[in-house]
Amino acid sequence: MSSAGKQKQEAVRPSLLSELFQFGLYKPNQGRIVRQVTFLTTAFLGVLIAWEIKRSPLMGGLGAEGYLVMLALAAVMVWFSFRLVNYSVFADFLVAVEAEMNKVSWPTRRELWNASVVVIFVIFSMAAFLFLFDALWTKVFELIGIRYSS
């Protein structure tokens, strides 16, 4: 594709700011699971941010009005999260992520169990080896007078 074609394609994409005031869904039947999880995660983080702002000294003197401000801010964050997952550039990325995740060959329960047992065995073996190595060198350093035991 020529650079003029790329510039024309990029020029057609709406900005995130203009997307915030839309109500439609972008490709509603594609990448639904990843988009829903992303929405829930970003909305939850937005509500937590609103809660932390309410608890901050900045809004400590507002009293009951502080809760209204917090609810308004949380609503704005949830709306932003909803519009973010419907922003064409980001939504296309999430659709591609779900398509790639569908291509992954997931291990069976038995394979996962075997791999986990191997990892746990190696971790404990290395911990024991490092403990013995440390104890050995501590003894050697105590014998030659570099380190003194209490």
Single-letter amino acid, residue 106: W
CA angle 24–30–35, rounded 5-degree value: 75
Give the pLDDT of the chain (150 residues) as one tens digit per residue: 555 555 555 556 667 666 666 777 777 778 788 889 999 999 999 999 988 888 888 776 777 777 888 899 999 999 989 988 888 888 889 999 999 988 999 899 999 999 999 999 999 999 999 999 999 999 999 888 887 776
Rounded Cα gap, residues 107 and 46, in angstroms: 34
pLDDT, position 126: 98
Rounded CA-CA distance 86/97 in Å is 15
pLDDT of residue 87: 86
Locate the domains of the chain by residue range.
14-104, 106-150
| pLDDT value of position 12 | 65
In degrees, rounded to 5, the angle at the alpha carbon of residue 11 between the alpha carbons of residues 7 and 17 is: 145
Structure tokens at 121: 């065995």
This prediction's pTM: 0.60
**pLDDT at residue 17, as a whole number:** 67
Q: What local confidence, expressed as pLDDT, does residue 128 receive? A: 98
Tell me the helix, strand and coil percentages in the chain, rounded to 5: 75, 0, 25
